[in-house]
A and B are shown apart, each in its own frame.
Chain A
């Protein structure tokens, strides 16, 4: 077993984050990531393209929407088509022909959430492949090796993931193990100049454990930090407190990536709490169920009352779907077996997310983020008092009041 890496082990870790503006009231920041495949403005929402594809939309469509970074999943790609093939195809960028940035997760979360027969040991996660029943070990070294082959711009450490609803000694064990696995990932990383390895803060919903994890991991000179172990089944009250604790202890000059967050309200609140990067399957997944995201929530376009609604999904939206199509047409198309319906909504929902982040960023740069938050909540909930309690509290904790 590798010894814990010394704090200077990754001195050459690049500074990939440039701070552009900060909110004087809250912890919100606007910035820019400098990545091998180009700059990325933050705060940023990263759509999830699990298996080397953004579901039904082409790389060109995704580029045209302004997306400059998206996710691939190491677990899925490690199985099909496998790292050797992807390497032959000139990495994941070459394989899917995506010219901008890619972030791959370690495979850890899927291992635990998707696979019923997985076993975590100090070595790594041992599991059975759902496709051929083979037994494999995903160790920190193997995860980094696969991600090195994929060639993504940001790679994630393998962390020992426990559900946020788990309590007791397992949480502490996982937290300390994640630190040890971080050091093993750092040691195994073959391409620190081309790929940025992020640490993932664990510790569940225990403030002391999380604080310990933060103290230890921030000693490692990685280019960025993710806040993990949240966005599971925990209450929103616990959720925001752990996010706030994490951002209060993370360095300001490195990006903070909050994993698995994608609902509009959550994004706005967590930007206020000091997060820069987000990913979530929600917008693209909900599109495939016929749900279109709008500033007031969502439209379930399959419902009958959209049958004769000849307005676009959102008259303020400039995406190709809203430019060309009405709710009525999308309603009709959603009731057919033409998959084009799903793609129209996927395009719109990604546009919605990116536009939201763009608006958030502009408000930070223009020093009116608190007003933006108030407007946003007003539109979403009708009245500031109708905003969910957890969000009101979270915003208040960083100086933003809603009424």
Chain B
């Protein structure tokens, strides 16, 4: 694995991670995102429909919370989770938790971490954790870590210190076990930076983790609601400053377009793509523009369209808060709204995804109103493609020194 940076602009890293995978010939572009999966499958999508999407990332994210309970099956299967789930060609990163359903706090001890699966709580010691990874054989995996210092309202220094101590201990033990296994040596351990909101602990975590032979770093505990990220961004910069340049930096729990940009500016390389999934689940379609250099006529049309839609969204946000739409952002439209009943335009004009090329807002509206399964399929296709397109535009903007323009465009739509 080799990370090469093409350029670094205002803290943003543009580059490629090369020589990845079992055959050593896969590449991951940074800044980039990982394909979000549930139990080893993109939500709603079969291999056939997933591959209709343009720009699917080279690396998919698996969650231990969804796969740990299948550990015995995978051990007997012997050929690794990639082949088991029907994605033998994909790079795989295994995270501890599912970013969409964070697990209840209070289940980390000095010896174990718990994940929550369909069957309930699964407690994992280092040896159990590594045995599961041995059965999974992912390309990368998040090391067992204590992420609970950031769960509570205000972290005590003591709790922050414990999260760092425990995570380092877990890391050292995992590395030791890795050394003893030919199978595990083929996977790369991603070290986890903990420390809650306590600067000293964060820096200690970063420096100490960086001393270990990890393949990359996961910045844990920066997720929360939009305001918590704001206060943590400063901390994020301090942390990434301590990390080596030649190893990738992943962050968990951050997936909104505006937050993604903030984190890229503070040295983060890879993100999870669960945001398009959340948008799908609330019957919405991503419509935000990332075309930072459109032609003038298109700008006018888009602006008028966007403004109108944003205005409407603000008006209806209040009405909708009671029906679980309070998390809806201004990056999307709610296709359940009556206004789309006779709208025969595609979800987003100019989008080349399967849904926009073949179907209309009216049709998706109908599918949502009648509770048809196809709604989720079509929205997931569109939302993933739109989101992957956004990341592509970030890389292009960085390449052409236009990130400010893109940032401006995204922030205009974020209000």
User: Counting CB contacts under 8 A, is A52 at the interface?
Assistant: yes
Q: Are B370 and A308 in contact (CB under 8 A)?
A: no
Q: Which residues of chain A from 331 to 345 have any CB-CB distance to chain B below 8 Å in the complex?
A: 332-333, 335-344
Contact between A310 and B359, CB atoms less than 8 A apart: no
A305 within 8 A of B: no
Chain B residues near A61 (CB-CB < 8 A): 46, 48-49
Partner of A337, one of B38, B73, B377: B38
Residue B292 at the A interface, CB < 8 A? no
Segment touching B, from A88-96, A170-178, A257-265: A88-96
Task: Given A81-B341, A339-B373, A344-B46, verify A96-B77 contact (CB < 8 Å).
Answer: no
**A58 CA / B341 CA spacing, docked (Å):** 20
One of B131-139, B157-165, B360-368, B388-396 contacting the partner: B360-368
A250 contacts across to B, CB distance below 8 A? none
Q: Which residues of B contact A310 (CB under 8 A)?
A: 77
* Total count of chain B residues near the partner, CB < 8 A: 41
Decide: A328 near B373, CB < 8 A? Known: A52-B366, A58-B49, A340-B44. Answer: no
Residue contact A308 to B76, C-beta cutoff 8 Å? yes
**A51 contacts partner chain B, Cβ-Cβ < 8 Å:** yes
* A77-91 vs B, Cβ < 8 Å mask (1 yes, 0 no): 000110001001100
Q: Which residue of A lies closest to B39 (CB)?
A: A336
Find out whether the CB atom of A333 lies under 8 angstroms from the CB atom of B40: yes
Interface of chain A residues 31 through 60 with chain B (CB within 8 A): 51-60
Chain B interface residues toward A at CB < 8 A: 38-49, 52, 66, 70, 73, 76-77, 84-86, 118, 341-342, 344, 354, 358-360, 362-363, 366-367, 369-370, 372-374, 376-378
The reply to whether the CB of A212 lies closer than 8 angstroms to some CB of chain B is no
Residue of A whose beta carbon sits closest to that of B376:
A339
Task: List the B side residues contacting A51 at CB < 8 Å.
Answer: 366-367, 370, 372
Q: 28 A–B contact pairs at CB < 8 A?
A: A51-B370, A52-B363, A53-B367, A53-B372, A53-B373, A54-B374, A55-B374, A57-B377, A58-B374, A80-B366, A89-B344, A95-B363, A96-B363, A308-B77, A320-B46, A324-B86, A332-B70, A333-B40, A338-B39, A339-B43, A339-B44, A339-B376, A340-B41, A340-B42, A340-B45, A343-B44, A343-B49, A347-B46
Contact B366 A81 (CB under 8 A): yes
A246 within 8 A of B: no
Check: A307 CB closer than 8 A to any chain B CB. yes
**Chain B, residue nearest A95 (CB):** B363
Find out whether the CB atom of B341 lies under 8 angstroms from the CB atom of A85. yes
Give Cα A341–Cα B378 distance, bound, in whole angstroms. Answer: 16
Q: Is the CB of A89 within 8 A of B360?
A: yes
- The answer to whether A321 has its CB under 8 Å from any CB of chain B is yes
Q: In the complex, which residues of chain B have a beta carbon less than 8 angstroms from the beta carbon of A335?
A: 118
A397 at the interface (CB under 8 A from B): no
Whether A85 contacts B358 in the complex (CB less than 8 A), given A58-B374, A329-B86, A332-B39, comes out as no
Considering only residues 291-312 of chain A, those with a C-beta below 8 Å from chain B are 307-308, 310
Query: Using Cβ atoms and an 8 Å threshold, which residues of chain B touch A339?
Result: 43-44, 373, 376-377
12 further contact pairs, Cβ within 8 A, besides A80-B370, A89-B360, A333-B39: A51-B370, A53-B373, A53-B374, A55-B374, A58-B49, A81-B362, A81-B369, A96-B363, A332-B73, A333-B40, A340-B41, A343-B377
Q: Chain A residues near B354 (CB, 8 Å)?
A: 58, 60
Q: B363: which A residues are within 8 A, CB to CB?
A: 52, 89, 95-97
A97 touches B77 (CB 8 A): no
CA distance A97 to B346 in the complex (A): 13
Q: Which residues of B contact A81 (CB under 8 A)?
A: 341, 362, 366, 369
Q: Is A219 an interface residue (CB 8 A)?
A: no
CB neighbours of B376 from chain A (8 A):
56, 339
The residues of B that contact A324 with a CB separation of less than 8 Å are 47, 86
Q: Find the residue from B41, B52, B378 having the highest chain A CB count within 10 A.
A: B41
Interface set of A (CB-CB < 8 Å, partner B):
51-61, 64, 76, 80-81, 85, 88-89, 95-97, 307-308, 310, 320-321, 324-326, 328-329, 332-333, 335-344, 347
Bound complex: CA A321 to CA B359 (Å): 25
Across the interface, which residues of B come within 8 angstroms of A320, CB to CB? 46-48
Closest residue of chain B to A53 (Cβ to Cβ) is B374
- A96 to B26 Cα, complex, angstroms: 38
**Residues of B with C-beta under 8 A to A333:** 39-41
Taking CB atoms, residues of chain A closer than 8 Å to B39 are 332-333, 336, 338
Q: Which residue of B lies closest to A337 (CB)?
A: B38
Contact B77 A88 (CB under 8 A): no
- The complex places the Cα of A321 from the Cα of B48 at a distance, in Å, of 9
Closest 3 CB pairs of A and B: A56-B373, A336-B39, A324-B86
Partner of B38, one of A57, A97, A336: A336
**A328-B73 CB under 8 A given contacts A56-B377, A81-B366, A89-B344:** yes
Closest chain-A Cβ to B363's Cβ sits at a distance in Å of 6
Chain A contacts for B377, CB-based, 8 A:
56-58, 339, 343
Q: With A and B bound together, what is the CA distance between A341 and B45 in angstroms?
A: 9
Chain B residues with CB under 8 A of A54: 374
Output the nearest chain B residue to A344 by Cβ-Cβ distance. Answer: B46
- Residues in A whose Cβ lies below 8 Å from that of B66: 336
- Whole-angstrom distance from the CB of B346 to the nearest CB of chain A? 11
Bound-state Cα–Cα, A214 to B77, Å: 59
Find out whether the CB atom of A97 lies under 8 angstroms from the CB atom of B374. Answer: no
A340 touches B46 (CB 8 A): yes
- Complex contact B358–A342 (CB within 8 A): no
B362 partner, pick from A85, A338, A343, beta carbons under 8 A? A85
Residue numbers in A under 8 Å from B49 (CB-CB): 58, 61, 343
B377 CB to closest chain A CB (Å) equals 6
Which residues of A have CB within 8 Å of B85?
329
- What residue of chain B has the Cβ atom nearest to residue A54's Cβ? B374
- The contact of A336 among B45, B118, B360, B374, by CB within 8 Å, is B118
